[in-house]
Structure 1
């Protein structure tokens, strides 16, 4: 089974495990029906201003629908989207439950960063070093895709941010998600659409590598009047959020194809690399190292990069003992996405309730512009229909996890990170519709 089909299996139909049991099938069906009934009861309670009835019924109902939606065949491909919708609605109803747990601030950068890194690492384990070879095989398609990704989406985001008249930091969040790289889920959607999967994976890989410089550049040019942008700090954040975990995943992929003596050398090198992070963590805990040197950003990045081979080697060692661990990584990634979606929604609840409708319209316009302009620009530049569809999906889908991570590191999760929470479920929903449409069109051809 290919890596992309594994993502589809666990991402599009996560939870649809074939247990071969009529009992569990009926249990899911009844759970789905009860969920719908509870949502309806909650709706009636809302109309009657019965808050005591409304909130628990809708919260429990939407969770049941998300968990049991695999009982309805037409919803199986949208189950992850339903989970994301649940992760937005439940925190809107009970925001305090997603702000602190046992005295721990759930939106703390020290918690959100590793969660976001886990998401990126999980998706990175479904990629391989071979994906980057596509640059040599199809340079023109890659060039068109990269230009489309990093010009269409930032500029459209800027125009929509200006037209929407939203508060400054929320408007900057629209530009931020437009300036990010392709979403990793775009590979899944291109797989469903029967587009050029090789081109899709390579485009995602290349735009991800370019993000540490291109994303801060566009934010500095387009959004610096809305929010303070520190180019080097944002570059550092993107390296930590995206490059470090995906780099560790690539170390694991490389180790699959080397002999045992080389793996032993990598193990020794990894242990040596851990000495530097250990020294830094010890001194930071005592408030010494960064304050004394004055090179905090450089030391921080060096520390994270030093951990890359160690994390890659450790995961590879686990994989060699239990290779099914790689199959569960997309599930962990989805869990991480649900976590930061819920926490961000709770943090920005008041803002979301006041501007959520406008953000949804902006998300739809931004997404649709990406699909249309990505497709027709590719056709204009000479790409065939299949490759143009690939670029269209790549351009239309943005990396919401990166946007959320950057907003968290900047301490502006409840404003700058808010658009990503609205954009992400819509992008997944619209892309799945478009991918299935193109799939059916390909089958008829």
Structure 2
């Protein structure tokens, strides 16, 4: 069993390390042969639920101690900056660029979502504070069922009618419940489910890749007409988020590792949730799924570049948790 678990961990480590390359490869594949992945769109919420369940399985009791041990940084990066910079930036970009309704809704959805767990991997590569990154992701994810629908309702209502209650229920179903179930299972059965815990990051990563490939596959023709515009907006949104997160951290005189973690956390969203919400609630706006899918591809690229720049600076070495979920959203 130990050998099997070790093999799973090595495979998972490789997948997580090259997740950005894998996502790009599957994106190209989905554009080239869309029929291979188009079926996955019908199961977007299920795939996201699996990914969130995997995140829950990776959370241990000591991770909550991280939240309480770093209240200022958690509230700053995981809540305040995450839920102000990204949604407000999304709204300003949509208004300033006069984006079409479909694309505007998709950008707003990305901006209003919690941080993605890919930020934990990127923070490690950048020699940032990984424990803080994990804590911020947990905090923003657990608060998402209320804050994300409220922000979408407040900002997205400029373009279309938004049902606040329906959004709340969706986020509870596809995020909160799977995460909580995963946490409970890990707490009570973690030692007995070593193999499951070892492979869940791999399963979660595959689930997110399937979400992205599916959305790309059904929007191939639209990508060639609106893809450049969406990519430009997504790039601006992501880079502004990381830049403002870094500036805010420096103003508050946080350490290098903490500033790095906060900047990455603010700029990297759970775009899988954005895609899922677009699919469930904005079916009349088919392009609304596109910003989330493209964001999933881009933020892995920008995150890796940002990490390579940051790691050149002298910073404290940090340890990487062995079992957090490294999916792409």
Does residue 174 of structure 2 align to residue 241 of structure 1?
A: yes
2:28 maps to 1:89:
yes
Q: Secondary structure at the match of 2:180?
A: helix
8 Å CA contact 1:12, 1:80 repeated in 2: no
Aligned counterparts of 2:59 and 2:287: Cα–Cα separation in 1: 32
Gaps of 5+ in 2: 1-6, 318-329
- Do 2:37 and 2:210's aligned partners in 1 also have CA atoms closer than 8 Å? no
Partner of 1:327: 198
| Coordinate RMSD, CA, aligned | 2.4
Shift, 1:436, TM fit? 2.9
Q: TM-score, normalised by structure 2?
A: 0.87
In 2: Cα distance, 1:151 partner to 1:11 partner: 33
Q: How many angstroms apart in 2 are the aligned matches of 1:244 and 1:417?
A: 23
How far the C-alpha of 1:357 sits from its partner, in A, is: 0.8
TM-score normalized by the length of structure 1 = 0.65
2:293 to 409, 415, 421: 421
| Structure 1 position 222, deviation (Å) | 1.1
Higher relative contact order (CA 8 A, sep 6+): 2
Equivalent runs, 1:7-86 vs 2, <5 Å: 10=11, 13-14=14-15, 77=17, 79-86=18-25
Aligned to 1:391: 262
**Residues 7, 177 of structure 1: alpha-carbon distance in 2 compared, 3 angstrom cutoff:** farther
CA distance in 1, matches of 2:11, 2:286: 30
Corresponding position of 1:439: 311
Q: Is the 2:257–2:316 Cα contact (8 Å) retained in structure 1?
A: no
In structure 2, which of residues 56, 70, 89 is the aligned counterpart of residue 156 of structure 1? 89
Change beyond 3 A, Cα 1:10–1:439: farther
- Could you tell me how far 1:160 is from its partner in structure 2? 1.4
Query: 1:269-305: CA deviations, max 9, x gaps?
Result: xxxxxxxxxxxxxxxxxxxxxxxxxxxxxxxxxxxxx
The Cα shift of 1:10 comes to: 5.0
| Higher alpha-carbon Rg | 1
* Distance (Å, rounded) in 1 between the aligned partners of 2:19 and 2:304: 11
Indicate the residue corresponding to 1:190 in structure 2: 123
Cα offset for 1:426?
0.9
Shift of the 9–238 alpha-carbon distance from structure 1 to 2, 3 Å rule, reads farther
Alignment of 1:302-341 (within 5 A): 320=192, 323-341=194-212
Between the aligned partners of 1:12 and 1:196, the Cα distance in structure 2 is 19
State the distance in 2 between where 1:247 and 1:240 align.
11
How many residues end up aligned between the 2 structures? 309
Structure 1 gaps of 5+ residues are: 1-5, 16-76, 101-105, 257-315
Aligned to 2:221: 350
Inter-CA distance 131–353: structure 2 relative to 1 (3 Å threshold):
same
Question: 203, 207, 210: which one pairs with 2:143?
Answer: 210
